[in-house]
Protein backbone atom coordinates (compact mmCIF):
# COMPACT_ATOMS: atom_id res chain seq x y z
CA UNK A 1 0.00 0.00 0.00
CA UNK A 2 1.21 3.54 -0.70
CA UNK A 3 1.58 6.01 2.13
CA UNK A 4 0.26 9.54 2.46
CA UNK A 5 2.61 11.75 4.44
CA UNK A 6 2.19 15.40 5.46
CA UNK A 7 5.29 17.41 6.43
CA UNK A 8 4.16 20.71 7.88
CA UNK A 9 5.54 23.78 9.57
CA UNK A 10 5.41 27.57 9.50
CA UNK A 11 6.68 29.61 6.59
CA UNK A 12 10.42 29.53 6.09
CA UNK A 13 11.07 26.28 8.00
CA UNK A 14 12.45 24.44 4.98
CA UNK A 15 9.43 22.55 3.62
CA UNK A 16 10.15 23.24 -0.05
CA UNK A 17 13.82 22.34 0.48
CA UNK A 18 12.74 19.03 2.03
CA UNK A 19 10.29 18.41 -0.85
CA UNK A 20 13.14 18.86 -3.34
CA UNK A 21 15.47 16.64 -1.30
CA UNK A 22 12.91 13.84 -1.07
CA UNK A 23 12.24 14.04 -4.81
CA UNK A 24 15.98 14.02 -5.50
CA UNK A 25 16.64 10.97 -3.31
CA UNK A 26 13.82 8.95 -4.85
CA UNK A 27 14.69 9.93 -8.42
CA UNK A 28 18.33 8.99 -7.81
CA UNK A 29 17.21 5.43 -7.12
CA UNK A 30 15.32 5.26 -10.39
CA UNK A 31 11.86 5.91 -9.00
CA UNK A 32 9.62 8.12 -11.10
CA UNK A 33 7.85 11.01 -9.44
CA UNK A 34 5.09 13.40 -10.31
CA UNK A 35 5.90 16.77 -8.76
CA UNK A 36 2.94 19.07 -8.10
CA UNK A 37 2.50 22.55 -6.69
CA UNK A 38 -0.30 25.01 -6.09
CA UNK A 39 0.55 28.73 -6.00
CA UNK A 40 4.33 28.74 -5.60
CA UNK A 41 5.57 32.16 -4.43
CA UNK A 42 7.48 32.61 -7.70
CA UNK A 43 4.19 32.62 -9.63
CA UNK A 44 5.60 29.87 -11.87
CA UNK A 45 4.75 26.16 -11.90
CA UNK A 46 7.75 25.15 -9.85
CA UNK A 47 8.88 24.34 -6.34
CA UNK A 48 11.24 27.04 -5.14
CA UNK A 49 13.25 26.84 -1.97
CA UNK A 50 14.80 29.92 -0.37
CA UNK A 51 18.01 27.96 -0.15
CA UNK A 52 18.29 28.50 -3.93
CA UNK A 53 17.06 25.25 -5.44
CA UNK A 54 14.11 25.12 -7.82
CA UNK A 55 12.42 22.38 -9.78
CA UNK A 56 9.75 22.44 -12.42
CA UNK A 57 6.39 21.13 -11.26
CA UNK A 58 2.85 20.66 -12.53
CA UNK A 59 0.47 23.35 -11.30
CA UNK A 60 -2.63 21.97 -9.60
CA UNK A 61 -5.65 24.11 -10.45
CA UNK A 62 -8.76 24.64 -8.40
CA UNK A 63 -10.64 21.96 -10.36
CA UNK A 64 -7.75 19.60 -11.10
CA UNK A 65 -8.39 15.96 -10.33
CA UNK A 66 -4.96 14.77 -9.23
CA UNK A 67 -5.87 11.17 -10.13
CA UNK A 68 -6.30 12.40 -13.71
CA UNK A 69 -2.73 13.78 -13.71
CA UNK A 70 -1.47 10.31 -12.83
CA UNK A 71 -3.67 8.72 -15.51
CA UNK A 72 -2.19 11.16 -18.06
CA UNK A 73 1.31 9.95 -17.13
CA UNK A 74 0.22 6.34 -17.61
CA UNK A 75 -1.32 7.25 -20.99
CA UNK A 76 2.12 8.59 -22.01
CA UNK A 77 3.63 5.24 -21.03
CA UNK A 78 5.20 6.61 -17.84
CA UNK A 79 4.78 4.90 -14.51
CA UNK A 80 4.45 6.92 -11.31
CA UNK A 81 6.04 5.63 -8.11
CA UNK A 82 5.51 8.69 -5.96
CA UNK A 83 3.87 12.09 -5.90
CA UNK A 84 5.31 15.21 -4.23
CA UNK A 85 2.99 18.17 -3.55
CA UNK A 86 4.30 21.51 -2.30
CA UNK A 87 2.03 24.26 -0.88
CA UNK A 88 -0.40 21.44 -0.09
CA UNK A 89 -2.37 23.72 2.26
CA UNK A 90 -3.93 25.22 -0.87
CA UNK A 91 -5.38 21.90 -2.06
CA UNK A 92 -9.10 21.43 -1.64
CA UNK A 93 -10.24 18.70 0.77
CA UNK A 94 -11.51 16.75 -2.28
CA UNK A 95 -8.02 16.86 -3.83
CA UNK A 96 -6.54 15.48 -0.59
CA UNK A 97 -9.08 12.65 -0.75
CA UNK A 98 -7.89 11.97 -4.31
CA UNK A 99 -4.30 11.71 -3.04
CA UNK A 100 -5.39 9.21 -0.38
CA UNK A 101 -7.13 7.22 -3.11
CA UNK A 102 -3.87 7.13 -5.10
CA UNK A 103 -2.02 5.81 -2.04
CA UNK A 104 -4.62 3.12 -1.32
CA UNK A 105 -5.82 2.22 -4.81
CA UNK A 106 -2.65 2.25 -6.92
CA UNK A 107 -0.01 2.12 -4.17
CA UNK A 108 1.66 5.44 -4.89
CA UNK A 109 3.60 7.12 -2.08
CA UNK A 110 2.40 10.69 -1.64
CA UNK A 111 4.52 13.34 0.10
CA UNK A 112 2.75 16.61 0.92
CA UNK A 113 4.40 19.76 2.25
CA UNK A 114 2.63 22.83 3.54
CA UNK A 115 1.74 25.19 6.32
CA UNK A 116 -0.96 24.11 8.73
CA UNK A 117 -2.55 27.41 9.67
CA UNK A 118 -3.33 30.68 7.94
CA UNK A 119 -2.74 34.28 9.04
CA UNK A 120 -5.69 33.99 11.45
CA UNK A 121 -4.18 30.83 13.00
CA UNK A 122 -6.99 28.74 11.52
CA UNK A 123 -6.29 25.47 9.71
CA UNK A 124 -6.35 25.69 5.92
CA UNK A 125 -9.08 23.31 4.65
CA UNK A 126 -6.49 21.28 2.69
CA UNK A 127 -4.20 21.00 5.71
CA UNK A 128 -7.12 20.00 7.94
CA UNK A 129 -7.99 17.16 5.55
CA UNK A 130 -4.35 16.07 5.50
CA UNK A 131 -4.32 15.94 9.31
CA UNK A 132 -7.42 13.76 9.10
CA UNK A 133 -6.21 11.37 6.39
CA UNK A 134 -2.41 11.16 6.40
CA UNK A 135 -0.66 7.95 7.47
CA UNK A 136 2.20 10.03 8.81
CA UNK A 137 2.40 13.60 10.10
CA UNK A 138 5.83 15.12 10.38
CA UNK A 139 6.56 18.59 11.72
CA UNK A 140 9.56 19.93 9.81
CA UNK A 141 12.53 19.93 12.16
CA UNK A 142 14.15 23.30 11.43
CA UNK A 143 12.85 25.71 14.04
CA UNK A 144 11.81 29.18 12.90
CA UNK A 145 12.34 31.71 15.66
CA UNK A 146 10.12 34.59 16.65
CA UNK A 147 12.02 37.89 17.05
CA UNK A 148 11.98 37.23 20.84
CA UNK A 149 13.90 33.97 20.42
CA UNK A 150 11.03 31.58 21.15
CA UNK A 151 10.01 29.03 18.52
CA UNK A 152 7.58 30.60 16.04
CA UNK A 153 4.57 28.66 14.87
CA UNK A 154 2.22 31.41 13.68
CA UNK A 155 2.30 33.07 10.27
CA UNK A 156 1.30 36.70 10.78
CA UNK A 157 0.31 38.68 7.68
CA UNK A 158 1.80 42.16 7.72
CA UNK A 159 0.12 44.70 5.43
CA UNK A 160 1.75 48.11 5.20
CA UNK A 161 3.65 47.37 8.40
CA UNK A 162 0.68 46.20 10.50
CA UNK A 163 -0.49 42.72 11.45
CA UNK A 164 -3.90 42.13 9.87
CA UNK A 165 -6.61 39.75 11.03
CA UNK A 166 -9.04 40.09 8.13
CA UNK A 167 -8.71 39.46 4.42
CA UNK A 168 -8.61 36.70 1.86
CA UNK A 169 -7.28 33.37 3.04
CA UNK A 170 -4.98 33.10 0.05
CA UNK A 171 -2.53 35.95 -0.50
CA UNK A 172 0.65 34.58 -2.03
CA UNK A 173 3.65 36.51 -0.71
CA UNK A 174 7.01 36.04 0.97
CA UNK A 175 8.58 36.79 4.33
CA UNK A 176 10.31 39.60 2.43
CA UNK A 177 8.10 42.59 1.72
CA UNK A 178 6.51 42.78 -1.74
CA UNK A 179 3.73 44.71 -3.41
CA UNK A 180 0.70 42.47 -3.78
CA UNK A 181 -2.70 43.03 -5.27
CA UNK A 182 -5.31 42.72 -2.57
CA UNK A 183 -9.06 42.40 -2.85
CA UNK A 184 -11.44 45.13 -1.79
CA UNK A 185 -12.47 42.99 1.18
CA UNK A 186 -8.93 43.11 2.52
CA UNK A 187 -8.40 46.86 2.07
CA UNK A 188 -10.89 49.65 1.73
CA UNK A 189 -9.16 52.09 -0.58
CA UNK A 190 -6.22 50.56 -2.38
CA UNK A 191 -6.02 47.46 -4.50
CA UNK A 192 -2.29 47.19 -3.89
CA UNK A 193 -0.46 46.98 -0.59
CA UNK A 194 2.95 45.97 0.68
CA UNK A 195 2.51 42.52 2.14
CA UNK A 196 4.83 40.15 3.91
CA UNK A 197 4.48 37.35 6.41
CA UNK A 198 6.34 37.12 9.71
CA UNK A 199 6.58 34.01 11.84
CA UNK A 200 5.82 34.77 15.49
CA UNK A 201 5.42 32.91 18.77
CA UNK A 202 1.86 32.67 20.08
CA UNK A 203 2.22 35.57 22.52
CA UNK A 204 3.49 37.98 19.90
CA UNK A 205 1.07 36.68 17.28
CA UNK A 206 -1.79 37.42 19.66
CA UNK A 207 -0.52 40.87 20.59
CA UNK A 208 0.55 41.70 17.03
CA UNK A 209 3.98 42.85 18.23
CA UNK A 210 6.41 42.57 15.32
CA UNK A 211 9.45 43.43 17.44
CA UNK A 212 12.42 45.45 16.24
CA UNK A 213 11.87 45.18 12.49
CA UNK A 214 15.13 44.82 10.63
CA UNK A 215 16.26 46.36 7.34
CA UNK A 216 15.74 42.86 5.97
CA UNK A 217 12.03 43.65 5.98
CA UNK A 218 12.54 46.88 4.11
CA UNK A 219 11.32 49.09 6.94
CA UNK A 220 12.99 51.44 9.32
CA UNK A 221 12.09 51.48 12.96
CA UNK A 222 14.06 52.76 15.93
CA UNK A 223 14.04 50.49 18.95
Ligand X SMILES: Cc1cn([C@H]2C[C@H](O)[C@@H](COP(=O)(O)O)O2)c(=O)[nH]c1=O
Chosen residue from 53, 133, 172, 180 binding ligand X by CB under 6 A: 172
- The alpha carbon of 195 is separated from its chain's Cα centroid by a whole number of angstroms, namely 17
DSSP string, 146-157: PTTSSBP-EEEE
Give CA–CA dist 157/175, Å, rounded.
9
Instruction: Verify binding: residue 49, ligand ADP, rule CB under 6 A.
Output: yes
From the list 9-17, 57-65, 67-75, 181-189, the region that binds ligand X by CB under 6 A is 9-17
DSSP state of 70: H
**Residue (141 or 169) nearer to ligand ADP, CB:** 141
Nearest CA to 85 out of 120, 124, 33 is that of 33
DSSP state of 139: E
From the list 52-60, 169-177, 201-209, 215-223, the region that binds ligand X by CB under 6 A is 169-177
Mark whether 62 is an active-site residue: no
Shortest CB 75 distance to ligand ADP, Å: 32
Catalytic, out of 62, 68, 87, 162: 87
- Neighbour tally for 54: CB within 10 Å: 14
Shortest CB 12 distance to ligand X, Å: 6
Site for ligand X in 30-69 (CB under 6 A): 41
**Cβ contacts of residue 25 below 8 Å, gap of 6+?**
none
Chosen residue from 7, 11, 103, 156 binding ligand ADP by CB under 6 A: 11
**Site for ligand ADP, rule CB under 6 A:** 11-17, 49-51, 142
Amino acid sequence: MGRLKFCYGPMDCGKSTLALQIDHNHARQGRRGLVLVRHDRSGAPQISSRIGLTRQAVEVGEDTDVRELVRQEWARGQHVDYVVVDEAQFLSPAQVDQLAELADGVEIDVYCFGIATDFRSRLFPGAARLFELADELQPVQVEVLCWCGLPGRFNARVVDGEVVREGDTVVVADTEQSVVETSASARFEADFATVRYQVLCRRHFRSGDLGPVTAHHGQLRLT
